[in-house]
């Protein structure tokens, strides 16, 4: 499934490239004001940090919320105390778009993450041109060589890569990369199965000073507590925020 998701994202990028060639997007990306320092926004604090996601649907959970105005939701995330807004831009299964990201960028002053199946530089340039400060790199989707190349490219643009792992081996690959921001996804993107204990099993492999993000299946305060106790600096939350009152839900998570 992960291969198909990546293939779909790359095909969509290819069609957009017919309209907006590489050099044009590169020029736009370079003309942007500098990316925000996401690591500073996510630095460990006395409360857990929340990366709040604009997410309409997913292949594992189906339709979650309409979200006619992603910018309005993102503003609520910011007022509610989120440290970063994640915007799913994958169109086929998650019903997102780069337009969502552009709209969110205009509405908030905290860092914005492009959540996408990224496999080539063009997609990273698009993210920067749309105003993203961070991009997601999924270790399971990429050979180490490609991962290293895209990681370096992201840093060259002044952006922060969030490197996502789903096993001890993938955490080791993320650490080898020198990643300063590592996400452990409880959901296996190939089978969609959830492993809520994975974060706790691999957290110690992540060196001190690296920001640890627990991703997926954070539905209630108990989940946030469990991840905090296991050493998470931040949680990445989609479903719980788009299906409940975002400000109240964020408030309860930040109070843990
Ligand atoms: O809606 P949830 O269960 O709170 O999950 C959010 C986020 O972790 C999830 O959307 C996600 C994590 N990694 C991904 C990679 C691609 C697409 C989506 C994701």
Quick: pLDDT tens for 139-190: 999 999 999 999 999 999 999 999 999 999 999 999 999 999 999 999 999 9
Quick: pLDDT tens for 95-152: 999 999 999 999 999 999 999 999 999 999 999 999 999 999 999 999 999 999 999 9
Query: 224 alpha carbon to ligand 1 midpoint, in Å?
Result: 15
User: What pLDDT sits at residue 55?
Assistant: 98
ipTM (interface predicted TM): 0.98
What's this model's pTM, rounded to 2 decimal places? 0.98
Query: 162 alpha carbon to ligand 1 midpoint, in Å?
Result: 12
Percent of the chain whose pLDDT exceeds 70: 100
Query: 152 alpha carbon to ligand 1 midpoint, in Å?
Result: 24
Q: Are 163 and 179 in contact (CB under 8 A)?
A: yes
**How many structural domains are present in the chain?**
1
User: What pLDDT sits at residue 108?
Assistant: 98
Averaged pLDDT, 236-253: 98
Q: What is the mean pLDDT of the chain?
A: 98
In this structure, the number of other CB atoms found within 10 A of the CB of residue 102 comes to 19
Q: Which atom of ligand 1 is nearest to the CA of 242?
A: 1
Quick: pLDDT tens for 196-216: 999 999 999 999 999 999 999
Of all protein residues, the one whose alpha carbon is nearest to atom 5 of ligand 1 is 216
Of all protein residues, the one whose alpha carbon is nearest to atom 11 of ligand 1 is 216
Active-site annotation, residues: 53, 55, 115, 164, 185, 215-216
- Assign residue 121 the CATH number of its domain: 3.20.20.70
Query: 238 alpha carbon to ligand 1 midpoint, in Å?
Result: 7
Question: Which protein residues are within 6 Å of ligand 1, measured from CB?
Answer: 53, 55, 115, 164, 185, 215-218, 236-240
Range of the domain at 18: 2-254
Could you give the angle at the alpha carbon of 84 between the alpha carbons of 104 and 20, nearest 5°? 45
Q: Which atom of ligand 1 is nearest to the CA of 116?
A: 16
Residue with tokens 């020198």: 178
Averaged pLDDT, 71-75: 98
């Amino acid at each position: 499934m992960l291969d198909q998701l990546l293939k779909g994202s790359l095909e969509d990028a290819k069609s957009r490239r017919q309209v907006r060639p590489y050099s044009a997007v590169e020029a736009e990306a370079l003309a942007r004001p500098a990316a925000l320092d996401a690591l500073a926004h996510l630095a460990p604090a006395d409360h857990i940090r929340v990366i709040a996601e604009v997410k309409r649907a997913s292949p594992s959970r189906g339709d979650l919320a309409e979200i006619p105005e992603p910018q309005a939701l993102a503003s609520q995330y910011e007022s509610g105390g989120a440290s970063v807004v994640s915007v799913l831009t994958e169109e086929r299964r998650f019903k997102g778009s780069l337009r969502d990201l552009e709209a969110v960028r205009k509405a908030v002053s905290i860092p914005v993450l492009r959540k996408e199946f990224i496999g080539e530089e063009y997609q990273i340039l698009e993210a920067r041109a749309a105003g993203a400060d961070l991009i997601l790199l999924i270790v399971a989707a990429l050979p180490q060589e490609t991962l290293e190349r895209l990681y370096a490219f992201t840093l060259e643009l002044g952006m922060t890569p969030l490197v996502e792992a789903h096993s001890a081996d993938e955490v080791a690959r993320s650490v080898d990369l020198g990643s300063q921001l590592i996400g452990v996804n409880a959901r296996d993107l190939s089978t969609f199965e959830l492993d809520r204990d994975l974060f706790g099993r691999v957290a110690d492999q992540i060196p001190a000073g690296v920001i640890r993000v627990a991703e997926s299946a954070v539905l209630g305060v108990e989940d946030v507590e469990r991840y905090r106790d296991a050493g998470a600096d931040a949680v990445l939350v989609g479903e719980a925020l788009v299906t409940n009152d975002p400000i109240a839900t964020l408030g309860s998570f930040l109070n843990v």
